[in-house]
Amino acid sequence: MNKVKILIIDSNLFFRAGIKQILSGEPELEVIESSPNGELTRLIEAEYPDVILLDCGSSPTSLALGKKIIQRYPNIRFIMLSLNPDDTELFNVVKIGAVAYLDKNCDPKEMISTIRKSCQGKYPINDSIFSRPKVAEQVLQEFQKLSSQKAAEIITAPITQRETQILSYICNGDSNKQIAELLNISEQTIKNYVSSILRKLNANDRAHAAILAVRRGLISLQDLQ
């Protein structure tokens, strides 16, 4: 059984340890944790978690950090935690693209349920929005504003260095298992990377991704074996 890998990002060591202990009690969950001041990019690239839990109040720039991670790794399910949930914060969390918004003092069962729903492709944050009319109205207005923007203004998430490396192996025709062995990381992690690559390139499959990578200059034919 492939485990769901969860990364907890919080400045409070005791909170991280407590959540890790709770979640580690679930057999299908694998938990890692970090301070927001840690080398997050390196950690995410190495572990490629399925879900990230980030405290909105971990630092003054927590929302900015969340937005940056979501744009860079759109395939990771992002859950924001808050010590004092309010409408303004919820709206900002919606804007950065989080899939859920939880009170840090919520029942552990609720957190586990939210994680599972998120991994199933659901958006538990919708329940939070619809239960607050003012936020729902703000979100509607925001979507109307976005829909009026020109397509050229939409920013596409960049391909990371690790994804480019894996993309080159895909172009060479290597399987997920072969790439995992070459890079000495798990096959499930490679699958996560491939899903992210396909999403970022808007590719239908691996072959389509390879064609798009060469066309867009992401991979040079001279670099291929």
Place domain 4-147 in its CATH homologous superfamily: Response regulator (3.40.50.2300)
Q: Which of 6, 22, 88 is nearest to 54 (CA)?
A: 6
Q: Could you tell me the residue ranges of all domains in the chain?
A: 4-147, 161-223
Instruction: Report residue 223 as tokens.
Output: 């670099």
**Widest CA span in the chain:** 57
The predicted pLDDT at position 151 comes to 36
Per-residue pLDDT band for 150 (boundaries 50, 70, 90) equals very low
CATH ID of 161-223, from 3.40.720.10, 1.10.10.10, 3.40.50.2030, 3.20.20.80: 1.10.10.10
Triad 47, 73, 77: Cα angle to 5°: 80
The percent of residues in the chain predicted with pLDDT above 90, rounded, is: 37
Residue 121 has a pLDDT of 83
Residue-wise pLDDT for 29-65, tens only, equals 999 999 888 788 889 988 999 999 999 876 668 888 8
Each residue of 179-222: pLDDT tens digit?
999 999 999 999 999 998 988 888 888 878 887 887 777 876 55
Q: Which pLDDT score, from 0 to 100, does residue 182 have?
A: 93
Question: For strand 29-34 and strand 4-9, is the pairing parallel, antiparallel, or unpaired?
Answer: parallel
* Alpha-carbon gap, residue 43 to 49, rounded angstroms: 9
